[in-house]
Amino acid sequence: MNEEKLNLLDEIKKEFACGEKDVNAYSPLALAYIGDDVYDVVIRTLVVEKANRPAHELHREAVKYVKASAQAAIMDRLLEGEESGECFLSQEETDIYKRGRNAKSYTMAKNASMTDYRKATGFEAMIGYLYLSGKQSRVIEIIKHAISDLYE
């Protein structure tokens, strides 16, 4: 069987006649906006694939990974070894993360410290940047590295 490999971003751009845009022109908060949902879709997919359960149980499991404190912990893990040059992230990914982390947001997540919220925003900006750059494989690689306990 010859299956067509689906690239959601390409399909969206084609079907809705979206023009090409320079991903670097997007604000960090716009990148975080899309990155939040991309990350959420990956987590929800993993949670559903792991077990067919009632929606409230699926939601409870997903929240463990999508809340700001969890995303902040993910960034701490991803940035380990940054000073020694052994960081899992590329310099470009780290720069995008820092742009998102330092962006001035007028909202804050419930039940999250400002530090965790900013780290989570940086994480989401990086995911959004990679997604809009067409680097979905890297998005998956980063998330897989960050949350290995979910799919084991």
Buried b (16+ CB within 10 A) or exposed e, 116-127: bbbbbbbbbbbb
Contact 97, 72 (CB under 8 A): no
Of the residues 10, 22, 36, 76, only one is catalytic, namely: 36
Task: Look up 37 and say whether it is catalytic.
Answer: no
Contact 109, 120 (CB under 8 A): yes
Which of 147, 146, 143, 144 is CA-nearest to residue 39? 143
Cα-Cα-Cα-Cα dihedral of 10, 24, 116, 106, to 10°?
-100
- Name the residue type at position 18: C
Q: What are phi and psi of 103, to 5 degrees?
A: -65, 145
Between helix 114-132 and helix 28-50 the angle, nearest 10°, is: 90
* Active site positions, annotated: 36
